[in-house]
């Protein structure tokens, strides 16, 4: 009997290879199914609430309003995740933690996710996994409304005749000299003390997170002015425990669609409320992710 031109042993080998490939695919499917059922995502859905690590002392990110309610951008984003999980933004418990408690609480499973203006760094990324960023931070410069310095060029030109106030930090002198090589530097013990120094005119300008500058300009438009200059960019993102691609992918999907898809109106309102920023409406048609 003639065959199709291929030796019988070769046909058997090819058929065997197909069977092996099918078996391999089946094992992969089983592995994916197991990962999905053992994911933090499934744990949270079964529990019926999200547990978020955050703080309460850093407006406009996380703080308490006059009624004692937790508010801020991080709080709004945490509630957006709860809404995506349960169709209910109230199904979230907040665990209050200091900045140095963020990673320990996450890796010991005390919380599901960190929403606490956490900066992405390579060192931290060795311990946790970061989502795609939801904000790009930087240092900004704010002056009193009646300041004689109308812009950054005026301030830089003043040299040592001007003074800048920072919250105390080991890198302050270096950070300042990057952009203002001759200005006098004053360091104080807290963020609040920097604004007190500016208000008392003990300093001409305050260096602060640009998000905080935007927040204060919204609250006190008749008191402060932004000099319109920023540097030292860094990215804020959620952090999750390592080794769970299902949960990480789900949160990334939620973040992306908050900027570009079904939850855009929610994100637009949050950016406007906390930073005074008008997010541009995503273009309809070709997804911007393709750069076309």
Query: pLDDT tens, 181-233?
Result: 999 999 999 989 999 999 999 999 999 999 999 999 999 999 999 999 999 99
Contact of 194 with 167, CB cutoff 8 Å? yes
Q: What pLDDT shows up at residue 289?
A: 86
Exposure string for 59-80, b = 16+ CB within 10 A, e = fewer: bbbbbeeeeeebbbbbbbbbbb
Is the per-residue pLDDT at 15 higher than 70? no
Contact of 129 with 248, CB cutoff 8 Å? yes
Peptide bond into 236 cis (omega under 30): no
Query: pLDDT tens, 118-147?
Result: 999 999 999 999 999 999 999 999 999 999
Average pLDDT over residues 24-32: 52
Model pTM score = 0.84
Average pLDDT over residues 233-243: 98
Q: What pLDDT shows up at residue 37?
A: 66
Higher-confidence residue of 25 and 51: namely: 51
Distance between CA atoms of residues 7 and 82, nearest Å: 61
Domains of the chain: 40-136+235-277 (3.40.190.10), 137-234 (3.40.190.10)
Q: What pLDDT shows up at residue 29?
A: 52
Q: Residue 117 — pLDDT band, cuts 50, 70, 90?
A: very high
- Strands 92-96, 50-54: pairing kind: parallel
Average pLDDT over residues 7-13: 49
Q: Residue 25 — pLDDT band, cuts 50, 70, 90?
A: low
Average pLDDT over residues 138-158: 98
- Give the containing element (helix H, strand E) for 64: strand 62-64
Distance between CA atoms of residues 122 and 124, nearest Å: 6
Give the range among 23-27, 155-159, 247-251 with minimum mean pLDDT.
23-27
Q: What pLDDT shows up at residue 182?
A: 98
């Amino acid at each position: 009997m003639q065959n199709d031109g291929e030796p019988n042993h070769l046909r058997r080998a090819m058929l065997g290879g197909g069977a092996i490939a099918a078996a391999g695919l089946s094992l992969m499917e089983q592995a994916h199914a197991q990962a999905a059922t053992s994911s933090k995502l499934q744990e949270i859905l079964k529990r019926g609430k999200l547990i978020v690590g955050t703080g309460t002392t850093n407006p406009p990110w996380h703080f308490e309003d006059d009624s004692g309610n937790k508010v801020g951008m991080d709080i709004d984003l945490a509630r957006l995740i709860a809404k995506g999980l349960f169709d209910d933004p109230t199904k979230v418990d907040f665990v209050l933690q200091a900045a140095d408690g963020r990673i320990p609480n996450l890796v010991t499973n005390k919380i599901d996710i960190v929403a606490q203006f956490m900066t992405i760094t390579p060192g931290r990324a060795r311990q946790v996994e970061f989502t795609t960023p939801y904000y790009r931070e930087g240092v900004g410069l704010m002056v009193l409304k009646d300041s004689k310095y109308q812009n950054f060029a005026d301030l830089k030109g003043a040299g040592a005749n001007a003074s800048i106030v920072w919250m105390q930090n080991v890198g302050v002198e270096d950070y300042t000299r990057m952009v203002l090589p001759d200005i006098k530097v004053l360091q104080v013990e807290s963020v609040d003390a920097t604004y007190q120094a500016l208000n008392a005119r003990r300093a001409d300008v305050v260096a602060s997170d640009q998000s905080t500058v935007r927040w204060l300009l919204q609250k006190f438009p008749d008191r402060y002015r932004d000099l319109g200059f920023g540097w030292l960019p860094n990215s804020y993102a959620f952090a999750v425990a390592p080794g769970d691609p299902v949960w990480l992918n789900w949160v990334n999907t939620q973040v992306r669609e908050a900027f570009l898809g079904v939850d855009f109106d929610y994100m637009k309102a949050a950016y406007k409320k906390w930073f005074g920023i008008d997010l541009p409406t995503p273009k309809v048609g070709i997804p911007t992710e393709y750069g076309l």
